[in-house]
Amino acid sequence: MIERPVMIVTGAARGIGAAIARAAAADYDLVLNHVTPGDHVGSLADELRAAGATVLVQRADVGDETSVVEMFRACDEHFGRLDVLVNNAGIAGGYGSIDTVSSSMLAGLWAVNVTGAFICAREAVSRLATDRGGAGGSIVNVSSRAAVLGGAGEWVHYAASKGALDTMTIGLARELATVGIRVNGVRPGLIESDFHDHAPPGRLERMAPTVPMARSGHPDEVAGAVLWLASAEASYVTGTFIDVSGGR
């Protein structure tokens, strides 16, 4: 029996993370990371098992280094291998202009969106790098078009955290290119998810006319880009971003 590759998806319980996991289930065994008790990750895991994937559900706050290390150890024990890390977990960190931003807000935002992504990448690299006995692999960071557009009046703080993730993507792609690890990013735009619950009601409808395609996107459309970057079809692609934003 051919051993299936293993993918860790952080923030997999809903939205884009759940869509990535569903898209991956046909070809990968999965570690589904989540943080909130009582979310729907259990039913998602059952759905993916029915689709043929072996699934490990791992509760871990990616903003906590100890939790991240334990998640990767659990992957080692359960699967004995790792092939792909999808750094998808992220938080909005509140909504509003600069006068609403506090140091505590920024600390929580950075812990998940930046520090958490770095620690997850560090743990993945220690397992994937060919100069450390690994077989190589792929890291895909889920960023945001806000990193480029800036999020003025709403999410400058969030946009800045995703800008940091983009810089990390470029730097790690170059650092790891000779040890078998590709690092790429996907920048979703206006996507239908509960992210917009942090904004005043009706944001999706208000913003849709600003998108050249005149509509919001679906998480499945983001998942397709993530899976392509993770796949062998993208074997000569690293340090690259795919914008899934309808042209915005």
Give me the catalytic one of 28, 95, 158, 236: 158
b or e along 160-194 (b: 16 or more beta carbons within 10 Å of the residue's beta carbon)? bbbbbbbebbbebbeebeeebbbbbbbbbbbbbbe
Which of 247, 17, 15 has its CA nearest to residue 149? 247
214 Rama sector, left if φ>0, alpha if ψ -120 to 50, beta otherwise: left
**Residue 173 CB partners (closer than 8 Å, separation 6+):** 182, 183, 184, 238, 239, 240
158 is catalytic: yes
List C-alpha distances in Å: 162 to 127, 188, 189: 25, 11, 12
Which residues have a catalytic role annotated? 158
